[in-house]
Amino acid sequence: MDKDVEERLILVCRSEIKMLELIFQSFRTLTEKSIEEADQMKEEVRRNSAELTKYVIAKSTPGEKGKEWAKPYLSMSSSFDRMCYNMEGMLTQLKAMVKDHIHFSDRAVKEVNDIFQEAMDLLESLPDLIQTKNKLFAQHIGEQVRAILKIANGHSESHEERLIQGVCMPKSSPIYLGLIESLKGIITHILEVSGKIVSLSARA
């Protein structure tokens, strides 16, 4: 992997870790101030991602060979962009919770917290994977992702059943499901980045 691109990938990743960390904190505190802090972080994420994309395009040589070199890096940059979009969606959900005074049941809070923590752990593992390019580490990430997605899907299904039974409040349901879906999106894109890192390592 190109050393300069590697450093820029890690920079984007670390800014996204910070943004997700702030969103996680916002979910736990649900204050306008904490949400605003997380919201401000997206500008740094966007800037780092845009600079990565510009650098890769500028460094790629004209012709098919240059395109093939740039493709996996641009794909990773796109995955980071989509993680950011998912995080922005979560901020929208949190703003709605504060504005409309929406509260989750203890069970729903625990479920979202658990998936949040798993997403944080996975995202925090990416800088190490980018540096080491360890195939076994990538396989472990893949196993974790599949296990977490299964749990998240189970949470969504159970929630919908509780909604039908009248246990869950209809007002909070779209927010809960939106947060879970956004976290699933982030986790899926982490897996995509992990796969690209391993494929680049195999080509080296």
Domain boundaries, the chain: 3-203
Give CA angle at 50 (43, 77), nearest 5°: 110
Which pLDDT score is estimated for 204?
Answer: 55
Looking at domain 3-203, what is its CATH homologous superfamily? Answer: Phosphate transport system protein phou homolog 2; domain 2 (1.20.58.220)
What's the rounded Cα separation, in Å, for the pair 168 and 178?
15
Which pLDDT score is estimated for 126?
Answer: 95
Which pLDDT score is estimated for 159?
Answer: 81
pLDDT in tens, the chain (204 residues): 778 899 999 999 999 999 999 999 999 999 999 999 999 999 999 999 999 999 999 888 777 777 888 899 999 999 999 999 999 999 999 999 999 999 898 899 999 999 999 999 999 999 999 999 899 999 999 999 999 999 999 999 888 887 777 777 778 889 999 999 999 999 999 999 999 998 887 665
Instruction: Annotate 152-163 with b (16+ C-beta within 10 A) or e (fewer).
Output: beebeeebeebb
Which pLDDT score is estimated for 80?
Answer: 95
Nearest of 155, 160, 154, 147 to residue 111 by alpha carbon: 155
Residues ≥6 apart with Cβ < 8 Å to 155: 111, 115, 180
